[in-house]
A and B are shown apart, each in its own frame.
Chain A
Amino acid sequence: MKHVANWALNVAAQRGASYADVRVIAQRNRALTTKNGKVGNASDTESVGMNVRVIVDGAWGFAASSELGRGAVEKTAAEAVAIARASARVKREDVQIAPEKPAVAEWSTPFKIDPFSVSVEQNIDLLLAIDAELRSVEGITLAETNLNFSREEQWFLSSEGADIHQTKLSTGAGYAAYAFAGNEIQKRSYPNSFGGQWQNKGYELIEELKLLENARRIAEEAVALHKADQCPEGMFDLILDSSQLGLQIHESVGHPIELDRVLGMEANFAGTSFLTLEKLRTLRYGSDLVNVVADARQEHGPGLGTFGFDDEGVAAQCIPIITKGLFTGYLSSRETAHNIGLNRSGGTVRAEGWNRLPMIRMTNISLLPGEKPLSLEQLIASTDRGILMQTNRSWSIDDKRYNFQFGCEIGWEIMNGKRVRMVKNPSYSGITTEFWNSLEAICSKDEWTLWGTPNCGKGQPQQVMGTGHGASPARFRGIKIGSAFQGS
């Protein structure tokens, strides 16, 4: 595929590009689902294409095509240059990109079992067995399961000499049980909502998740929610399980630290950020216990934000985002790094596929675990009065990322260190910095999970990206509970 990239780079140079990069990408996906004892969807997808990104006359242009013949590739490169020239008609200053030593490298996601090597029969049998276990519980009216595998092979070449061949592999799996009765629909999911758990690793993830072993408990909880009391409204201490805390991190830390948002580049769609530039190294984002990193390196774990190089050819890095509660870092790109005084990109730029422009995306934005040993059960035991919430059901946050509201599938009231009753329709709300400053206890490494969020939307045209979020359960003091049902 390098020859394809070189055709495009040559045309870009001939037509006056001061910088160009080319990504040639081959993607393969498999999706398998079941619903109520039948296969719902079974599909294989292949998508191959290339794109050219150029700077001409100090402005950006980008063009992409599924055609990889020489004529089509050269036409695509010429189109990118023409688009950049059009961009230059409405510019205030020339684009600056931070220097980057061009890398020549190979990188692949480590895995034990290639998920595409596992027979479809085996996978469907697994999903149907889970489905049957869920529906064996009286009161379950709908059972859904899914398995998803993807592989992306990318060749990145730039006019500066970068030459990177990278292959990323990801695996996802999960299920949900619904119980409809009276005027109410209750739902439980495992191991997480919205498709379950997703990581950049092989089929070994499926074996680790103990999917079938948890199916009956999940179905029984969905049915039991109908008899549970409504979650009380008021101010309570709140314990979040690690998957819900992962989404809390995503929405109230991951998005506001995107430097393109901060600089107004997403103002029309995804929004801006309350984290204006003067807050760097001055804002107390959270309590002293809050340590958050953006870590794309393999040693952080197999998150959906783990890679060797980003889509600008910058090597994976670990960036301290919140250090002992102090806001210390943004997610940056080659274009935006200079705005915060950096002379190198933070390496966080990715694109959904060959036909999309790379942009700043979360890598693995993780809350580091507590240093002192603390299990979830010990955390509950040390709570006088609170609510434990598990598994996200709804999520919403304003376009500067201040005010949020989350709903969870299930809650448990805690009194004097014990779970005293299940509660349904739990929700909580707050203001981002007030919330993180109320964090008073985090479970330790044994309870830490690196969750995958496969459906993060951003950009115009919109791109969907997978991000990673590591978290242990944590307790927050004096949080507003139940506002979703206030006044209803």
Chain B
Amino acid sequence: MLTREQAGDIFDRVKKFSSADAVEVLFSGGRFALTRFANNTIHQNVSEENHVISVRTVFDGRTARAITNKFDDESLRRAVQASERLSRVQHSDPDLLPMAAPKDATGSASEGAARKPEPARHFAETAAITPELRAEGVRNIVVVANRHSLTTAGIFSSGESFEGIFNSRGLSQWHTQTSAEISITMLAQDSSGWQKSNSPNLANLDALTLAETAAKKAVESAHPREIPPGKYTVILEPSAALDIVGFMFSDYSGMAILDQRSFLTGRIGQQLFGENITICDDVAHPLQSGSSFDGEGIQRGKIELVKNGVVKRVVYARATAQRMKCSEHKDSVGPIEPTGHGFPLPNEIGEMPLNIVFAPVDGSQSVEQMIASTERGILVTRLWYIREVEPFEKMLTGMTRDGTFLIENGRVQGGVRNFRFNESLIHMLSNVEAMSQPVRASGEESFDMVMPAMKVRQFNFTEVTKF
């Protein structure tokens, strides 16, 4: 793994090769390994190590980037020259700000003062995971599958990574973390079950419980019956809820408002969702992961995006905040300030909150309690292939998968064939009847969040498939 000191040396060499007004270097990479299994056997088993630098140069309001994974002098010089060549041929951009200085890096003033220190996210035991340990973990999952006469497929991955930024105004930031992830599908003849969990710390993962839960879902959803599509009360387990709500967070961006591509255009300050919906972005939350600085090196603030169903504000990169203050929207979008959510420059999309935390509610219910209070509804383990159908009402389509159950009279009555939904996120988050305590959740369609299970009224299933 590249160290901060080594990165500093590389940055010094890059500076030496450059004639630009300003230089920035992003560092990323690390070691990653993934053991993949299917049909109760390990069929793919990979590892990689890669270190990447991305050089941004600036000449009089013009900027561009060149990326390489080679750190010898010739490669660094070539990357610098490529970046400078791309920069020089552009038109000067009056909105391009000087690179951030160390004093700029503290980010959001309004809520940043309350920021908690980032929890430790690098764990030596997780960094030391071996192929043998992952194979042993898979073996234990296969034992569970065999015990239930099921076939299993999934992954057990681990890694150690770094991110860093250095610029010629003296700013430098560095972050390291580890990661471990287990995802398990259990397959029966005509049914399946799924579970997934990840954490910077392997000690937080419980492979056997995940395997047993996935197996239980596969067994209990066997011989699925077909019931007609229509509007149902649904209970979305955290992974399912996460995958669908994840489609709205790129719209919580000042740039998306300026571009008029956000469904929040003209809606900030409105009661858009139910009063039980409160959402913030908080990289320091103990169940979150990732670095505490953005693509310009600005500290990520804790930002309350939605409070009691009212959209309060969006996030900003530095230049977006500057543009918004001069825009026609400036009086209707809440606080405007750099929040530490910008992507590396140059880019077209500005910024996005990536450390979403749903606030716990008074009277939260477990999934079991939600089931017990449901006269007729559908329990959804996982959603799949979600896509946006209509961007302003945030109409999404997708399928259920790997454990879809009918609930009647407060009890799970068995598996049902998978549904296609077409549902507006605004409608869905206005119809949440109950939520569980939020947990760290992971899906496949969106990024990890701190997310509750949700019981939702009038969820719109439009078709049913053949399994």
- Contact residues of A with B, CB < 8 Å? 33, 35-36, 38-49, 51, 59-67, 76, 79-80, 82-87, 89-93, 119-121, 124, 141-142, 144, 178, 180, 183-185, 263-269, 271, 274, 355-357, 359, 393-400, 402-403, 405, 407, 425, 427, 429, 431, 460-461, 483-488
- A residues less than 8 Å from B154 (CB atoms): 268
Whether A142 pairs with B49 at a CB distance below 8 angstroms is no
Whether A269 pairs with B260 at a CB distance below 8 angstroms is no
- B10 interface residue (CB < 8 Å to A): no
Assuming A41-B346, A42-B64, is B467 touching A460 (CB within 8 A)? no
- B14 interface residue (CB < 8 Å to A): no
Nearest A residue to B62, CB-CB: A39
Whether B46 pairs with A399 at a CB distance below 8 angstroms is no
Determine chain B's interface SS by DSSP, over half rule.
strand
Beyond the given A42-B90, A44-B86, A460-B34, please list 11 additional residue pairs across the A-B interface where CB-CB is below 8 A: A42-B65, A42-B87, A64-B50, A80-B47, A121-B89, A180-B261, A265-B38, A269-B183, A357-B46, A403-B463, A431-B466
Whether A35 pairs with B348 at a CB distance below 8 angstroms is yes
CA distance A442 to B18 in the complex (A): 57
- A residues less than 8 Å from B85 (CB atoms): 120
Interface size on B, residues (CB 8 A): 98
Whole-angstrom distance between the Cβ of B222 and the nearest chain A Cβ: 16
CA distance A486 to B420 in the complex (A): 12
Whether B70 pairs with A66 at a CB distance below 8 angstroms is yes
Whether A398 pairs with B47 at a CB distance below 8 angstroms is no
- B66 interface residue (CB < 8 Å to A): yes
Whether A62 pairs with B466 at a CB distance below 8 angstroms is no
- B4 interface residue (CB < 8 Å to A): no
Whether A355 pairs with B50 at a CB distance below 8 angstroms is yes
Pairs across A and B, CB under 8 Å, 10 listed:
A43-B64, A62-B45, A86-B45, A86-B134, A86-B135, A355-B50, A407-B387, A483-B462, A486-B462, A487-B460
Whether B70 pairs with A48 at a CB distance below 8 angstroms is yes
Nearest B residue to A179, CB-CB: B260
The listed residue with most B CB atoms (<10 A of its CB), out of A393, A398, A429, is A398
CA distance A80 to B391 in the complex (A): 46
Whether B131 pairs with A398 at a CB distance below 8 angstroms is no
Whole-angstrom distance between the Cβ of A176 and the nearest chain B Cβ: 10
- A residues less than 8 Å from B393 (CB atoms): 183, 488
CA distance A425 to B389 in the complex (A): 8
Nearest A residue to B395, CB-CB: A488
Whether B86 pairs with A399 at a CB distance below 8 angstroms is no
Assuming A44-B66, A49-B50, A62-B45, is B390 touching A425 (CB within 8 A)? yes
Whole-angstrom distance between the Cβ of B28 and the nearest chain A Cβ: 12
CA distance A64 to B29 in the complex (A): 13
- A residues less than 8 Å from B261 (CB atoms): 142, 178, 180, 185
- B424 interface residue (CB < 8 Å to A): yes
- B328 interface residue (CB < 8 Å to A): no
Assuming A185-B261, A429-B463, A483-B462, is B47 touching A62 (CB within 8 A)? yes
Whole-angstrom distance between the Cβ of A361 and the nearest chain B Cβ: 14
CA distance A61 to B41 in the complex (A): 13
- A residues less than 8 Å from B90 (CB atoms): 39, 42, 124
- B151 interface residue (CB < 8 Å to A): yes
Whether A405 pairs with B420 at a CB distance below 8 angstroms is yes
Whole-angstrom distance between the Cβ of B102 and the nearest chain A Cβ: 26
Assuming A87-B135, A90-B135, A396-B398, is B39 touching A484 (CB within 8 A)? no
The listed residue with most A CB atoms (<10 A of its CB), out of B48, B68, B78, is B48
Whether B424 pairs with A488 at a CB distance below 8 angstroms is yes
Whether B260 pairs with A90 at a CB distance below 8 angstroms is no
Whether A398 pairs with B422 at a CB distance below 8 angstroms is no
- B residues less than 8 Å from A460 (CB atoms): 34, 36, 44, 155, 157, 183
- A residues less than 8 Å from B66 (CB atoms): 43-46
- B447 interface residue (CB < 8 Å to A): no
* Cβ contact of B43, chosen from A41, A60, A405, A461, cutoff 8 A: A60
CA distance A253 to B467 in the complex (A): 18
* Cβ contact of B46, chosen from A64, A124, A400, cutoff 8 A: A64
Assuming A66-B49, A87-B45, A264-B153, is B387 touching A395 (CB within 8 A)? yes
Nearest B residue to A407, CB-CB: B389
* Cβ contact of B399, chosen from A44, A355, A399, cutoff 8 A: A399
- CB 8 Å contact bits of B390-408 with A (1 = contact, 0 = none): 1111010111011000000
Whole-angstrom distance between the Cβ of B137 and the nearest chain A Cβ: 10
Whole-angstrom distance between the Cβ of B8 and the nearest chain A Cβ: 20
- Nearest 8 interchain pairs by C-beta: A86-B131, A40-B348, A403-B465, A180-B260, A267-B153, A42-B64, A45-B67, A64-B48
